[in-house]
Structure 1
Amino acid sequence: MSIRRLPEHLVNRIAAGEVVERPASALKELVENAIDAGASRIAVRLAAGGTELIEVIDDGCGMAPADMALALERHATSKLPDDAIEAVETLGFRGEALPSIASVAQLTIESRVRGADGWSRTVDNGEVVAEGPAALPPGTRVRVEQLFARVPARRKFLRSARAEYGASMDVVKRLAMARPDIGFSVEHDGRRALSVQPGETRPERVAGLTDRDLADNSVAIDFHREDLVLGGVAGLPTFNRGVADHQYLFVNGRPVKDRLLVGAVRGAYAEMLARDRHPVAALFLEIPHDQVDVNVHPAKTEVRFRDPALVRGMIVSGLRRALDEAGHRSAQRPSEAALGMWQPGTFASPSSSGEGLGWGLSAGAGLGETSHTPYPSPEGEGLAYYSGAGVREHRPTFFTPPPQARAEPATQPVPETIDHPLGVARGQVAKTYIVAEAEDGLVLVDQHAAHERLVLERMRRAMQGGGVASQALLLPEVIELDEPACDRLEARIAELAEFGLELERFGPRAMLVRATPAMLGTKDVIGLVTDLADELASFDEALSLKERIDHVAATMACHGSVRAGRILSVPEMNALLREMEVTPHSGQCNHGRPTWVKLAHGDIEKLFGRK
């Protein structure tokens, strides 16, 4: 077969395949053009997620009629004044976006330079069909209609309108985050979905586009090394999410998704977060243009650094320094009150009736049942009684405080260790680990990890039996989320109801929670629903229904389990151990970490040099 030159319309369609993968790709190119044009406000209108309509209006410099015609030709650009392609400072410069979009949709450009008349030009799938004068304020308006309408092979691979809308919103959010000096608005199907004003500070813009609580749970980044500057905001390790979709990375103002940068962020938080949790961060790296290549990907979402090790080391060092300077906010350290509980104290005898100022501990109290155990009040007034539900009550007393090590009088015979593989509870360390004595050694149990697995197995058994019982909320709770997250939850309302979680859409950006799984309670409804939305974003399309159910159940179990930091009574600890002994897979939590470890008698003797 002889070699032939491809026709121009086919060349444009091939180029469109590189630049325009979906509506979000076209929107990205148009908004970047508006930013490069010096706009101070950019308005976006979408219909059906961008498949039917994408409109971008800016108040930038505009184009003259001759420039407009040239802009629709391939490899024509105003962003590269000379041949120094490595010195480009704008967001885009390849000169293929507009003709590529015009080859697979109906594209209308209306533009006006200040002090001149406006002009309009319409191209329908590569052919100019109309042009002439246009009335509009200074700036540019671009309309893209019926994307891929005449390319059915491409259109059938587009996702649902909701999914395409979510991708388009992510594009606008990232570009708006990079330029807090520009105002952005997005309207979808006639309804305002986003609006940010120009002139905001970077932390204000980041918090407004991610999570309003980030402003109070983050540290500012300002780090310099050689000619590199790292800025932005990083969430505290305790302010984390279930997926890594809340990490925004920018290089010279350009949003990128680079493995090197993502790996550097993971490395900086490696010792502060569990493996299944991810930080919230927006990092802005400024680097000399001759040290980075931004033209390694048609969509310019990837970059290549001349010295990758320098960049990675700078990000890790900058993040760790900022988190270290935040002091106690960067990690959950023991409080002074918790440390003070280990100081020597005298014993206060319980009352003979076992009530009032006595220990009040029911011999039959099981896991989750309410028991009252007194501890020194942090305020120094009497005793603070902590119930099984975590409620603290203050009761005045003139008696000597109870023992600081929380020794409890036996209300029933101590079980024989020989009858229980995980032994008998002897105490609790750091309000997180249960210490138990077994016949053959010492057992340490992570109470949160262990109970998390137990709750998951209960939910699985309940699902096999027909569904999880729900507990109605006295007052339904309204939880604010971004619109794509609400869409994901709304699409799975029926499945979540089988787990006992009853949700209802409450406006564009909120979900109403009417009931929660009875076995989980109602203590962390906001965190539960937020993490479920993240899980659905990460796994909804890639996994089977059974795998998605397992992920949802695991997320619910995590929020319904006994948290680290909760004080347990001895009966509660023993009840947890007994249930672990009869529950499958209780040796590991839902994330693969061990729930208990054992020190054999021989190991303990080695620690003390006895053998």
Structure 2
Amino acid sequence: MRAIKLLPSELANQIAAGEVVERPSSVVKELVENAIDAGADDIIIELDHGGKERILIRDNGSGIQKEDLKLALSAHATSKIYSLSELEAINSMGFRGEALASISSISKLKITSKTDSAEHGWCVDNNDLDTLVPASHPTGSTIEVSSLFYNTPARRKFLKAERTEYTHIDELLKKFLLCHFHISMKLFHNGKEVKSFPKALSPEQKQKRIEKLCSQAFIEHAIVINEEIEGLALQGWVAKPQFSKSRADMQYFYVNGRVIKDKLVAHAIKQAFRDILHHQRYAAFILYLSIDPEAVDVNVHPTKHEVRFRESRRVHDFLFSKLNHALSETKPDAPVALESIESDIDGLTFSAQKEKSMAVMTPKTNTKTEDYVETLKLYKEVIGSGVSDQKDDFDEESQNKRHAWSYSEGLNIDPVVTKEASVVTDESVISEACYRLGFAIAQLHGIYILAQNDNGLILVDMHAAHERVLYEKIKESWSKDKALSQQLLVPLTLELTPVLIDALMTHEHQMMKLGFELSVFGENSIVIRAIPIYLRNKDIAGLINKIASTLQHFDVTHDLEAYLNQILATIACHRAVRENDVLSITEMNHLLREMEKTKRADQCNHGRPTWVEMSIAELDKLFMRGQ
């Protein structure tokens, strides 16, 4: 057993540096945060070879006093906290034990700084801390870090290629730029200017910066968030699920101006996107949470990426509820609107988009309205009557499929849109033209609904759309304890394994709330005496097996609501119209109207899109019209 000894300060600092400085981007992060804390609004960054050879950060902040320069490179020296009370309520970009001393221990570091009251600046480097050299320098600081890890070769060999290290720094700077709009920033790499961002103070300038960093498509799909309750405020933008990403590379979450990655926050956001985002896609967002500094601990991780909320459940529920509410309005009659907001995060705003015109729905030709009505009559003769009236041409199985729509309890036909095409008048065409999804023209391959609106054509996946409509209605009934049961004339006996039977009976209360009435019949059988009324003529045996399997693997520590929603989604999927179910024009129009008033109708329960639109301009481009 070796004797215990105190480590030399130099070795201790190098160990500390291992926690803080992983790569050149770690150095840039610490130095830019210090510049922001110093009040800088103009920052210049110079890199050589991806930052491996040289990093220089110049700012116009308040600068460092002459007598403080030596202390700036000393261990456990800081200007950001003086007491335990300040440590427990940090409102700066620090603090995890200031990093300058750690960076100094593994590199060659030089600081040049001048305060506004000083006649000139002063310079100090870590090779000779006792010597201060006068320097010509404007108000602010310049910190130069060169030969990173030169004295720890084992660490240096783990650095990646120049391009990789530069990419890490570039992504880091994007995080700063998306939060601190009042700061201008320039980036030079190997002597060449590669990035330049002026201050973004007006709404238009902010939108332009976000467009440059995150793309125009993000802006077009962004939903504005501006919510506040006592002690908590959430501002920013979250993209509609249509803009989901294949990687989690557009997720920016800030707590009091500090970018973080937190499991609690990630879970709340994931729950808000539950059942509207495909499982292989990732949400995109820029969100800012403002909270009392005393209610959050930012000193739990060396790199300050994580935080700990003192009321974690309250924060989680706040984030989930506000995002879930905003995302619930993703439906066809709610076009994207980037409304202006004013917030504590530099008054972030997007300028509002112009609403799309929804004028009279007539073809983009010289066709008169009466000619369009005649066209609708033709659709009635060719498609409507052929589907709705010729019942004798279908066998019994086809009849059951055709009537599947009528089994949708609670979906009442809207009297405005039940007019048969043959009796549509000029006035009705004009008054009904404002519907976002237009009106059905035909059913394609028993899968899609083809519709026309004022902008062009609409394609709807009828199963996905109906599934979402039913899912939202079933969830609403569930929440209000309004599940309707139907007694079976002949009870249904199912054979299941004892494990599945046990799972069902353990959650008998939930099954009753869903509308099932069942009991055990021997070791391997259950008897079903009642089923939900909306499951008439469906595969009850298959559905019960799926629910039992879900219950078998359900961990009571998981979110009960998520588990129940999974079962409700299964029920909705079984109940929805299927491929090759034949719908009349009236039924198709009814589905379109239901979509327009159903929350989250843009996606099915699995996160797939339910409808797409192709504008007249896009159609013209396909056929080279006007070219």
Scaled by the length of structure 2, the TM-score of the pair is 0.55
Once the two structures are superposed, residues 545-580 of structure 1 have per-residue CA deviations (whole angstroms, 9 ceiling, x without a partner) of xxxxxxxxxxxxxxxxxxxxxx99x9xxxxxxxxxx
Once the two structures are superposed, residues 71-94 of structure 1 have per-residue CA deviations (whole angstroms, 9 ceiling, x without a partner) of 100110001133311112111134
Match of 1:258 in 2: 262
Once the two structures are superposed, residues 231-258 of structure 1 have per-residue CA deviations (whole angstroms, 9 ceiling, x without a partner) of 1111122222111121101111111011
Structure 1 position 327, deviation (Å): 5.6
Give the fraction of aligned pairs with identical amino acids, expressed as a percent: 36
Match of 1:309 in 2: 313
Match of 1:117 in 2: 120
Structure 1 position 379, deviation (Å): 4.2
Once the two structures are superposed, residues 347-386 of structure 1 have per-residue CA deviations (whole angstroms, 9 ceiling, x without a partner) of xxxxxxxxxxxxxxxxxxxxxxxxxxxxxxx9434999xx
State the distance in 2 between where 1:329 and 1:261 align. Answer: 30
Match of 2:10 in 1: 9
List alignment gaps of at least 5 residues for structure 1: 333-377, 385-394, 415-424, 436-443, 446-566, 571-592, 596-611
Preserved CA contact (<8 Å) 2:300 2:308: yes
The one-letter amino acid paired with 1:169 is D
Matched, 1:139 2:158: no
Structure whose alpha-carbon radius of gyration is higher:
2
Match of 1:380 in 2: 362
State the distance in 1 between where 2:260 and 2:3 align. Answer: 41
Q: Name the stretch that deviates more: 246-255 or 162-171.
A: 162-171
Say how many residue pairs are matched.
381
Match of 1:279 in 2: 283
State the distance in 1 between where 2:65 and 2:178 align. Answer: 30
Preserved CA contact (<8 Å) 2:90 2:294: no
Structure 1 position 428, deviation (Å): 2.7
Q: Secondary structure at the match of 2:322?
A: helix
Structure 1 position 149, deviation (Å): 2.1
State the distance in 2 between where 1:305 and 1:15 align. Answer: 25
1:99 to 101, 112, 127: 101
Preserved CA contact (<8 Å) 1:383 1:397: no
Match of 1:189 in 2: 190
Matched, 1:401 2:378: yes
Preserved CA contact (<8 Å) 1:77 1:94: no
| 1:559-578 correspondence to structure 2 within 5 Å | none
Q: Which structure shows the bigger proportion of residues in helix conformation?
A: 2
Structure 1 position 426, deviation (Å): 6.1
State the distance in 1 between where 2:382 and 2:270 align. Answer: 38
Once the two structures are superposed, residues 128-161 of structure 1 have per-residue CA deviations (whole angstroms, 9 ceiling, x without a partner) of 4964111111100011111112211111111211
Specify whether residues 594 and 185 from structure 1 end up closer, same or farther in structure 2 by C-alpha distance, changes over 3 A only: closer
Matched, 1:242 2:224: no
The one-letter amino acid paired with 2:158 is F
Preserved CA contact (<8 Å) 1:122 1:128: yes
Matched, 1:70 2:71: yes
Specify whether residues 382 and 15 from structure 1 end up closer, same or farther in structure 2 by C-alpha distance, changes over 3 A only: closer
State the distance in 1 between where 2:334 and 2:153 align. Answer: 52
Matched, 1:321 2:322: no
State the distance in 2 between where 1:153 and 1:329 align. Answer: 60
Specify whether residues 379 and 15 from structure 1 end up closer, same or farther in structure 2 by C-alpha distance, changes over 3 A only: same
Specify whether residues 404 and 242 from structure 1 end up closer, same or farther in structure 2 by C-alpha distance, changes over 3 A only: farther
Preserved CA contact (<8 Å) 1:291 1:305: yes
Q: Secondary structure at the match of 2:44?
A: strand
The one-letter amino acid paired with 1:198 is K
Matched, 1:289 2:290: no
1:226 to 226, 230, 242: 230
Match of 2:474 in 1: none
Once the two structures are superposed, residues 274-294 of structure 1 have per-residue CA deviations (whole angstroms, 9 ceiling, x without a partner) of 111222101111111121110
Structure 1 position 401, deviation (Å): 2.6
Once the two structures are superposed, residues 294-326 of structure 1 have per-residue CA deviations (whole angstroms, 9 ceiling, x without a partner) of 000011110001121111111112223333457
Once the two structures are superposed, residues 416-471 of structure 1 have per-residue CA deviations (whole angstroms, 9 ceiling, x without a partner) of xxxxxxxxx96234456599xxxxxxxx99xxxxxxxxxxxxxxxxxxxxxxxxxx
Specify whether residues 329 and 403 from structure 1 end up closer, same or farther in structure 2 by C-alpha distance, changes over 3 A only: closer
Structure 1 position 404, deviation (Å): 8.2
Q: Secondary structure at the match of 1:402?
A: helix
Match of 1:336 in 2: none
State the distance in 2 between where 1:258 and 1:26 align. Answer: 22
State the distance in 1 between where 2:335 and 2:361 align. Answer: 24
The one-letter amino acid paired with 1:105 is S
Once the two structures are superposed, residues 2-27 of structure 1 have per-residue CA deviations (whole angstroms, 9 ceiling, x without a partner) of 11011111011001101111101111
Scaled by the length of structure 1, the TM-score of the pair is 0.56
Once the two structures are superposed, residues 178-228 of structure 1 have per-residue CA deviations (whole angstroms, 9 ceiling, x without a partner) of 211111222222333332222435752444422233233212111112211
Match of 2:436 in 1: none
